[in-house]
Structure 1
Amino acid sequence: MLRDNIAWEVIGDELSTRSNVLCCQKWYNQLIIYEDVDWDNLVEHRSGDVCRKRWDQLVKHIGEHANMSFAEQVEVLSKRYCTDLLEAREAYDSKPAVS
């Protein structure tokens, strides 16, 4: 399997823990996640690398996180760790629309 001039079959064979298709999917899923987030400006007084590494640690505890979009990962983690934030968002979302 060749995508973007990368021999995923060779990579899958070398890893032997994941098929070539899964290697490719994992790579592109991670690229999508990291492109959308400005890690360097996410948290004051923390570097982008520190924020990204912490995120990686958190999503490992979700389970099937590799198959989720970034928004779905945020949803799962906010329900687990930020219930007050979730309640505030639900209250905001339930407000009637102003026309």
Structure 2
Amino acid sequence: MVDQWTIQISIKLAGLLVGTLLLGFGVAIWRLPRYEDTDDEYARYFGHVGFILLLVANGGVVWTPFWALALEAGGYALAALFGTRWFLRVTRADDPSPL
């Protein structure tokens, strides 16, 4: 059976990976010429979501390990929700309306 420490490390590593990818995608939107028609506001949102994920993944243990794990998972879920929302808003060319 998998112990709690292994699950916590796996969640931290997943957060670091996804946070780095989102932060990089935000910088790519901001810097690449093919995204010139995209507002810089979207790049900031991607960067913020990625940065939040990196901060949460690097955060220390709060209260008990169970609550720390629950807070990390909740932070990742919120960041994934908002990140997906902004990703769809940026990449949906046929429907520029907000979600």
Into which bin does the TM-score normalised by the smaller protein fall? 0.3 to 0.5
Computing the radius of gyration from Cα coordinates, the structure with the larger value is 1
Higher helix proportion: 2
What is the TM-score when the length of structure 2 is the normalising length? Answer: 0.32
What is the TM-score when the length of structure 1 is the normalising length? Answer: 0.32
Higher strand proportion: 1
